[in-house]
């Protein structure tokens, strides 16, 4: 049924956890290598709200290829969480190669989720990166220019060591994330000296802050010694819960994990008037702790806010009735919606099986709204296993397995609709179900105007309890941008329902 769209943020968490290890540009000398004590073999326990959910392992050494020295960083992270009692395991392995000048040269990354593996490989040369991304049989390639001062995320810790740890020092870099497949501006600050207890010994460390310009702003902090050894990392406010990596040994890192249910821990209980049925009008007082309310909600013809301050606003949602006689005919070629017909890595609308199934579903129907309703009903009725065990399935994978939650319902609907000429985009936000709001995905179709559709819950038009926090743009090949609304609001947003109308 509903779905906590945490898988984007789990993948983001993996990336951020591996982001944290500090480096200035300039050649690494033999003296630097001795100080950093290569090879380095580090094991860490991954904790969420004090519960161990997995581990991180990083091995760094110096190798020689074709007569040239390189720093090679190999990392692995694995986590296991629960969603409404269903276990979900996500793992990632990465290998990065950088020159002794700390300039990135090559990387390869693999993310394993239930039912599929996503691989990425990249080559960096002359200020440009060539990336090849593969999911199942689908492969996409992209070339992009890189800004100056780019380093790999895993090399961040070495940068501080090379530069020299000095309290009060502050500088800016660009991190190339192998998860997001793009550079991320980051401000690095050496905050203070501190001490940590490790195996009964007091270890002098520096506390370093990394402020990343992504997802509305994220801050990570690292406790590391002068040799570059990391003893602790904290993801400040990520996903609204305390997340940290804590140095340990291999035996403990690979040991048993605890249990934490991310849906139970992240649903939002509203106050005010009760919500019954499927209203077309919702008015609510929304308050955001520690953020800017103006950047929280996606504005549209059906959703708007009245600002009461930086952190408070009145939210209005009014679902407009659909007159199918006014719907455009397919295929639709409207310039304002043309990009939402394109296939992407997870939405394979050009796949022969997707195209064939969509034509089978709609038959000779040319009215875009009636065709969208046929696809909506088929997706709802044919994904028999409403499973929370799927990580983030693609449309192709979902058509083959016919299982998944709201992400899989949404990407399959989107691919089917696009394949027959209905522009469709993905929305992320909140939906009310039972007694609370849950993080959720749903699609919107363009039939002359944008209309929300609800294939997960079996309703043609999304009701006014669908609060959009992200979306409105063509999804990237990582689709991680849909996690931004969650990161901005999770455990920070409160909703007081003022008015509800059918």
Read off the pLDDT of residues 185-240 as tens digits, 9 standing for 90 and up.
999 999 999 999 999 999 999 999 988 887 667 788 999 888 778 899 998 655 55
Distance between CA 419 and CA 122 in Å, rounded? 30
Percent of all residues in the chain with a pLDDT value above 70, rounded to a whole number: 84
Q: Closest by alpha carbon to 410, among 374, 452, 369, 368? A: 452
Residue 340, CA distances (Å) to 297, 320, 331, 410 in order:
21, 22, 12, 14
Residues listed for the chain: 502
Write the Ramachandran bin of 203: left for phi over 0, alpha for psi from -120 to 50, otherwise beta.
beta
pLDDT at 87: 66
Instruction: Quote the mean pLDDT of the chain.
Output: 85
CB-based contact 63:72 (threshold 8 Å):
yes
CB-based contact 174:182 (threshold 8 Å):
no
Residue 259, CA distances (Å) to 85, 86, 90, 239 in order:
9, 11, 15, 17
Domain locations along the chain: 6-253, 324-501
> What's the whole-number mean pLDDT along residues 48-54?
86
Tell me which of 151 and 3 has the higher pLDDT. 151
Tell me which of 339 and 473 has the higher pLDDT. 339
How does residue 27 score in pLDDT terms, banded at 50, 70 and 90? very low
Q: How many CA atoms lie within 13 A of 33 on its CB side?
A: 18
Q: What are phi and psi of 357, to 5 degrees?
A: -65, -40
**CATH 3.10.620.30 applies to domain 324-501:** yes
Which of 81-95, 319-333, 399-413 is modeled with the greatest confidence? 319-333
- 3-state DSSP of 31-91: HHHHHHCCCEEEEEEEEECCEEEEEEEEEEEEEEECCEEEEEEEEEEEEEEEECCEEEEEE
Distance between CA 437 and CA 373 in Å, rounded? 25
Q: How many CA atoms lie within 13 A of 178 on its CB side?
A: 34
CB-based contact 393:405 (threshold 8 Å):
no
Tell me which of 112 and 345 has the higher pLDDT. 345
Least confidently predicted of 358-367, 396-405, 477-486: 477-486
Q: How many CA atoms lie within 13 A of 163 on its CB side?
A: 23
Residue 237 token pair = 């406010």
Tell me which of 78 and 228 has the higher pLDDT. 78
């Amino acid at each position: 049924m509903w779905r906590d769209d945490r898988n984007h943020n789990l993948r983001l968490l993996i990336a951020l956890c591996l982001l944290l290890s500090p480096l200035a540009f300039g050649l690494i000398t033999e003296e630097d290598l001795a100080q950093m004590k290569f090879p380095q073999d580090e094991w860490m326990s991954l904790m969420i709200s004090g519960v161990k959910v997995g581990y991180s392992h990083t091995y760094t050494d110096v190798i020689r290829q074709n007569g040239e020295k390189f720093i090679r960083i190999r990392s692995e992270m694995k986590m296991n969480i629960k969603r409404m009692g269903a276990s979900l395991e996500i793992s990632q392995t990465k290998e990065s190669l950088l020159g002794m000048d700390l300039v990135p040269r090559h990387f390869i990354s693999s993310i394993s989720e239930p039912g599929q593996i996503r691989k990425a490989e990249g080559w960096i040369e002359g200020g440009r990166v060539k990336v090849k991304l593969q999911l199942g049989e689908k492969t996409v390639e992209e070339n992009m220019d890189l800004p100056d001062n780019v380093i790999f995320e895993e090399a961040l810790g070495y940068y501080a060591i090379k530069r020299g740890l000095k309290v009060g020092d502050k500088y800016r870099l660009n991190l190339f994330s192998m998860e997001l497949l793009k550079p991320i501006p980051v401000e690095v600050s050496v905050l203070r000296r501190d001490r940590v207890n490790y195996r009964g010994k007091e270890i002098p460390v520096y506390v370093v802050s990394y402020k990343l310009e992504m997802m509305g702003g994220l801050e990570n902090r690292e406790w590391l010694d002068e040799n570059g050894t990391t003893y602790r990392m904290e993801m400040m406010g990520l996903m609204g819960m305390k997340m940290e990596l804590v140095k340990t040994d291999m035996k403990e890192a690979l040991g048993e994990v605890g249990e934490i249910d991310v849906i139970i821990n992240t649903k939002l209980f509203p106050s005010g008037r009760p919500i019954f049925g499927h209203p077309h009008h919702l008015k609510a007082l929304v308050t955001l702790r520690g953020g800017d309310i103006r950047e929280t909600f996606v504005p549209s013809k059906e959703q708007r806010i009245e600002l009461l301050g930086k952190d408070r606003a009145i939210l209005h949602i009014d679902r407009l009735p659909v007159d199918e006689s006014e719907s455009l005919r397919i295929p639709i070629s409207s310039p304002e919606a043309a990009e939402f017909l394109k296939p992407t890595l997870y939405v394979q609308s050009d796949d022969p099986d997707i195209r064939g199934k969509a034509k089978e579903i709609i038959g000779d129907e040319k009215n875009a709204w009636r065709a969208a309703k046929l696809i909506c009903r088929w997706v709802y009725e044919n994904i028999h296993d409403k499973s929370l065990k799927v990580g983030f399935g693609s449309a192709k994978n979902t058509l083959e397995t016919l299982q998944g939650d709201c992400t899989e319902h949404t990407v399959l609907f989107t691919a089917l609709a696009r394949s027959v000429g209905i522009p469709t985009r993905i929305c992320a936000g909140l939906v009310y179900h039972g007694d609370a709001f849950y993080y959720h995905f749903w699609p919107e179709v363009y039939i002359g105007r944008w209309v929300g559709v609800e294939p997960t819950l079996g309703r043609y038009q999304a009701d006014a309890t669908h609060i959009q926090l992200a979306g409105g743009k063509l999804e990237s090949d990582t689709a991680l941008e849909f996690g931004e609304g969650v990161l901005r609001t999770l455990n920070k947003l409160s909703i007081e329902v003022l008015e509800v109308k059918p």
